[in-house]
Amino acid sequence: RPEDLWAVHSQPVFPRPHRRDTSSWLAIQKITSRGEKIGLHHFKPIKPLGRGDTGSVHLVELKGTGELFAMKAMDKSVMLNRNKVHRACVEREIISLLDHPFLPSLYSSFQIPTHVCLITDFCPGGELFNLLDKQPLKFFKEESARFYAAEVVIVLEYLHCLGIIYRDLKPENILLQKDGHIVLTDFDLSFMTSSKSQVLKYPVPKRRRSRSQPLPTFIAEPSTQSNSFVGTEEYIAPEIITGAGHSSSIDWWALGILLYEMLYGRTPFRGKNRQKTFSNILNKELTFPSSIPVSLAARQLINALLNRDPSSRLGSRAGAAEIKQHPFFHGINWSLIRCTSPPPLEVPLQLIKKDTTNTKDVKWEDDGILVNSNDMDVF
């Protein structure tokens, strides 16, 4: 039955342990504790935040609470026509599992006749892509690039531990919280499988035990390969293009592309068209513009991440653990990074504010479609 395709979106959502006492969850639970089922009518539309190929994302307010959320609304007919129903269901399943300071929470999901909707965290800092673009030379200083890359490493480590290969890392999918820390979003291209965990023990030196002997390292990486052709073209790993099958190491390739873009203001393999870009990814030598001063450690890390052989790529053996140990990340306090302030930028982070001047032009129509007469033709 057609309605069964969307059944997962009508299932109740429960708070994860680390988020259940936040003001957002308390506001949601106040409604559900009265026996009400969260739906579109509980939210007041504020403004559109962006749009994708299957729908739009909107800033919404939970009525009577002042709490702001992001609502991702996906068009059912578009998803059916483009064979993306499964992707929407996987995304909903993945977000409902997440419980991490750099990942979104799912507060509710519901459907209306035309759309399925996910209610998640609103990130007032917007996209990392826009922050990068606003810098005078379109790139970050190394200290800032290191900070954002480190938080991405932590997120990917967590996802891989859950058996999730992210598969769509790019600056547009990294959102910024009001304190400047990241939130990785958009899981419709992600692949979910089981996770293989192991403890990596280092050989004991023949001499008497040194204080600096490395401790055993816990690693957990997704255990299954996928053959799907997915991703954003400038960030796609070579093994996806060749169809050789890919594992979680494609996320480490994308980290290398992201770090390059943050430091140099462009991606390394971009061509004049899709075919040329793919050809460059497979064949072009990686070069570093001498006009932009970047440390040797940063260039060596990028080089190790952009190894075309996935089995030799940094991260393929011990996942995030070996990336964290790279000299580029020296000085990063991995355990307490969420408690540190992001390094200052030449053009600082500007927060998206709730604009009350246009709310009269935005309304929910009877059929549940958001119409904004000023900004854009939504859906």
**Residues tagged active-site:** 168
What is the C-alpha separation between 96 and 1, in angstroms, rounded?
A: 24
- DSSP lists the bridge partners of residue 73 as 56, 117
What is the C-alpha separation between 204 and 214, in angstroms, rounded?
A: 9
Cβ pair 222, 163 in contact under 8 A:
yes
The token pair at 136 is: 């005078």
Q: Which amino acid is at 182?
A: I
Name the CA radius of gyration of the chain, rounded: 22
Which runs of consecutive H residues, i.e. helices, occur in 98-141?
128-134
> Starting at the edge strand that comes first in sequence, how are the strands of the sheet with 43-51 ordered?
43-51, 55-62, 68-75, 115-121, 106-111
The closest alpha carbon to 186, from 170, 173, 172, 167, belongs to: 173
Q: Binding site annotation covers 76?
A: no
**Longest Cα separation, the chain:** 77
What is the C-alpha separation between 126 and 138, in angstroms, rounded?
A: 16
For the annotated binding site for ATP, the residues are 72
For the annotated binding site, the residues are 72
